[in-house]
Amino acid sequence: MTHRKIAHLALADGTLFQGFAWGAEKCVTGEAVFTTGMTGYQEVLTDPSYTGQLVCMTNPHIGNTGITHEDAESRKNQPQVAGFIVREPCDTPSNHRSEESLQRYLERHGIAAIGGIDTRRLVRTLRDRGAQNGCIGTAPPAELVDRARAAPSMQGLDLVSRVTPTESYAFEETRGDWRVSFDPHSPVTGASKLSHERPLHVIAMDFGAKRNILRCLVDSGCRVTAVPASSSAKDILALQPDGIFLSNGPGDPAAVGYAISTIRELLGQRPIFGICLGHQLLAHAVGAKTYKLKFGHRGLNQPVKDLATGRVEITLQNHGFAVDIPSLGKRAVSTHVHLNDGTSEGLSVPDANAFSVQYHPEAAAGPHDALYLFRRFTDAMLQRA
């Protein structure tokens, strides 16, 4: 490994971690968080839900499979994280699909990273004290601490406006060779209960949508039109959708009041399906509240129980806020809970034909545990038709 310049990660509470500069050499701030996935670092880097965050990978060896542009989750194939934190970066990837090294990818997109730090110590710190703002850079440590303390809090921060598209667009990608071979008799991957000849038109409110979620909608027989988060209910309904999808996205859901108002107007107009931030925004639309988790749920192997069936799904998650279940009131019903801490993982609004989940059913952590949700959405649209 070539000589690296000394860098530090400084947390707002004054804790310092020494390592070396990696990726683009600059000073960046953001909320320091960790994700527990052993694989999928490229999906983490490009997921718009990580906007404004310094992401620590708990797996120590990162970069060994390089970068494959087909696997990017952001529509423009760009990293979305504010900064990247690893134990041991790999300079020489070995993967027949790799098109670029991780080091080059980060440099090309101006993403600051730090390597060589004790990531186990960092994870314990964030787990025990909670997620907090941090700063990565080669400047004097005291300056980095000051910058971390001056960074805006994630609570109350609208990050959707940074990642939502400025114009509507048609999404036509499929998962191609990676598509699941559906068993028509399976309760999980089976086909829709009702057949349909024409594509179902889904309007996706893009709060920072992952490409693979939209691909799953296309694979489910939908024609997908994504619209900006600021779109009005009138404009959305004018597109004559069969259903409305509420995407994932970054930041505090309570700060995205314009989207909450739109969703409230759309309730009952068409079937609605929300994922991650979309779940939280749907909860706000029916009058519920959200709160910030101590360190969030990020990574694989998150166990979720479907309260209706008793099935346990192994899921991938990426969120720092959660729906307050008691605040749902009588209009919405809690449908899924996290088995580690009992937090909200799904809800249903029966009188509005709307439902949502907090986790990412497209991410194949189970690997097919949650694909039935896309079938549930298409069935709801078909039954309405």
Pair (217, 328) in one structural domain:
yes
Of 56, 222, 276, 279, the catalytic one is: 276
* pLDDT tens column, 208-235: 999 999 999 999 999 999 999 999 999 9
- Residue 48 belongs to a domain: yes
The average confidence (pLDDT) of the chain is 93
> What is the mean predicted confidence (pLDDT) over 353-365?
92
Question: Amino acid letter at 222?
Answer: C
pLDDT at 176: 73
pLDDT given at position 15: 98
pLDDT band at residue 324 under the 50/70/90 scheme? very high
Q: Within this chain, do residues 170 and 137 fall inside the same structural domain, yes or no?
A: no
Last residue of a domain, one of 99, 121, 150: 150
Asked if the peptide bond before residue 367 counts as cis, ω within 30 degrees of 0, the response is yes
In a domain, 1, yes or no: no
- Rounded to the nearest 5°, which phi and psi values hold at 361? -70, -20
User: Per-residue pLDDT for 77 more than 90?
Assistant: no
Give alpha helix (H) positions in the chain. Answer: 41-46, 102-108, 119-129, 141-150, 160-163, 211-219, 233-238, 257-266, 277-285, 372-384
Q: Which domain holds residue 88?
A: 6-150
Domain boundary among 150, 185, 209: 150
Q: Is residue 36 part of a domain?
A: yes
Range with lowest mean pLDDT among 182-191, 263-272, 322-331: 182-191
**What pLDDT does 187 receive?**
46
Q: Specify the CATH number for the domain of residue 277.
A: 3.40.50.880
| 106 and 202 part of one domain | no
Given this model, what pLDDT does residue 182 score?
A: 47
Given the residues 279, 297, 336, 360, select the one marked as catalytic. Answer: 360
Together in a domain, 107 and 235: no
3 state SS of 22: strand
172 and 124, same domain (yes or no): no
360 is catalytic: yes
Model confidence at 27: pLDDT above 70: yes
Q: In the listed set 150, 169, 185, which residue is the last one of a domain according to the structure?
A: 150
Residues 212 and 142 in one domain: no
Q: How confident is the model at residue 368 (pLDDT cuts 50, 70, 90)?
A: confident
Confidence of residue 10 (pLDDT cuts 50, 70, 90): very high
- Measured distance CA(347)–CA(71) in Å, rounded: 30
User: Between 347 and 187, where is the model more confident?
Assistant: 347
* Same domain as 309, residue 290: yes
314 and 224 fall within a common domain: yes
Q: Are residues 103 and 228 in the same domain?
A: no
Give pLDDT tens digits for 373-385. 999 999 999 998 7
Please give the structure tokens belonging to residue 99.
């098109």
Q: Exactly one of 31, 313, 345, 362 is catalytic; which is it?
A: 362
Q: How confident is the model at residue 185 (pLDDT cuts 50, 70, 90)?
A: very low
Number of domains in the chain: 2
More confident residue, 175 or 313: 313
Asked if residue 313 belongs to a domain, the reply is yes
- Report d(CA 156, CA 256) in Å as an integer: 9
pLDDT (0 to 100) of residue 38: 86
Q: Higher model confidence: residue 276 or residue 77?
A: 276
Tell me whether residue 362 is one of the annotated catalytic residues.
yes
What pLDDT shows up at residue 184? Answer: 41
At residue 178 the predicted structure's pLDDT band, cuts being 50, 70 and 90, is low
155 located within any domain = no
Same domain, 255 and 145: no
In this structure, the answer to whether residues 174 and 311 fall within a common structural domain is yes
Please give the pLDDT value at position 196. 59
Beta strands in the chain (DSSP E): 6-11, 16-23, 28-35, 53-57, 61-62, 83-85, 88-89, 112-115, 132-137, 169-171, 200-206, 222-228, 243-246, 272-275, 290-306, 312-323, 333-338, 344-349, 354-357
User: 25 and 140 share a domain?
Assistant: yes
Residue 268, SS3?
A: coil
